[in-house]
Structure 1
Amino acid sequence: MSEPIYPAATRELAAKRRELAPGTQAAFEAFSASVFADGALSAKMKQVIAVAVAHVTQCPYCIKGHTKAALRHGATPQELMEAIWVAAEMRAGGAYAHTMLSLSTIAEEEERHPA
C-alpha cells in the first residue's frame, strides 16, 4: 500500500506546532472559538459553511474536522451534502465566470495581431 499524501493529525504534531509558536497557536484557537460561536448564525450553520468552504479550499484536515463538528452540532448528512454541492457549483461557477478574462484577452490579441 502506498504512503498517504497527508500525515495523520496526531497529538504529537499538534504539540509540536504549539511548542514552536505558542502565542500564535493560542491566538488562533481564540479566534477560531470566536468565529464558530453562536451569533447571528448558529454554530451548526457555521460548521456547515465550514464544510462547504473546506471542499473549495480542498483541505482534507478541515473537511474531516468540520464534518465531525457539524454532525456534533446537529447537521444532517443531507445538509452537509447540499452544502458541498453549493461549494462545487460556486467553484465551477468561478471558472465559468472567469472565461470572460480569456475571451476578452483573445479578442484583444486578435485585434493586435490580425490573422
Structure 2
Amino acid sequence: MNEYQNPKDRKYTNDLLNAAPKESAAFMNLKHTAERKDGVIPVKYRELMSIAVALTTQCAYCLESHIQNAKNAGASKEEIAETVFIASAIRAGGAVGNGLMAMRIFDEI
C-alpha cells in the first residue's frame, strides 16, 4: 500500500454506513447533534472547536470538512491559525501530563 488517507476513499462512505447500520445511525445522530445550528454555542465556534479536535485526532477528512464549515460560518484565516496553536498547546500539555504518569510508573517499577 502506497498511501493511507486519500480523498478517493470517500466513495466507500455508504459501504461503511450500510455495513453497520445501527452503529452508523448512532454515530450520525451524535455528529448531527454536535454540528447543529440551533445550539447555544454559535456555529462558527462549534466549527473552530471541531477543527481543534480534528487537529488533535489528526483526521484529515474532518479537518477539511470543518474548515469549510468554519469559513462558511465567517471564521477568518487568523481564527483558524489561533485554533491550530491552541490545539497544539493542549496536545503538548497532554504529553506533559502523561509524562508525570511515566515518572510515577518508573518509580513504582
Quickly name the TM-score band, shorter chain normalised.
0.7 to 0.9
Superposed displacement of residue 107, structure 1? 3.5
Match of 1:25 in 2: 24
Is the radius of gyration larger for structure 1 or structure 2? 1
Cα deviation, 1:38-86, whole Å, max 9, x if unaligned, reads 3121111111000011000011111111111111111111111111111
Stretch moving more, 31-40 or 10-19: 10-19
Question: Which one has the bigger helix percentage?
Answer: 2
TM-score where L is the length of structure 2: 0.80
User: Cα RMSD (Å) of the superposition?
Assistant: 2.3
Identity %: 28
Q: Give the superposition deviation at 1:11.
A: 5.7
In 2, Cα distance between equivalents of 1:95 and 1:27: 31
Structure 1 unaligned blocks of 5 or more: 110-115
Supply the distance in 1 between the matched residues of 2:79 and 2:45 (Cα, whole angstroms).
10
- 1:16 — aligned with what? 15
The TM-score with structure 1 as length reference comes to 0.77
Gaps of 5+ in 2: none
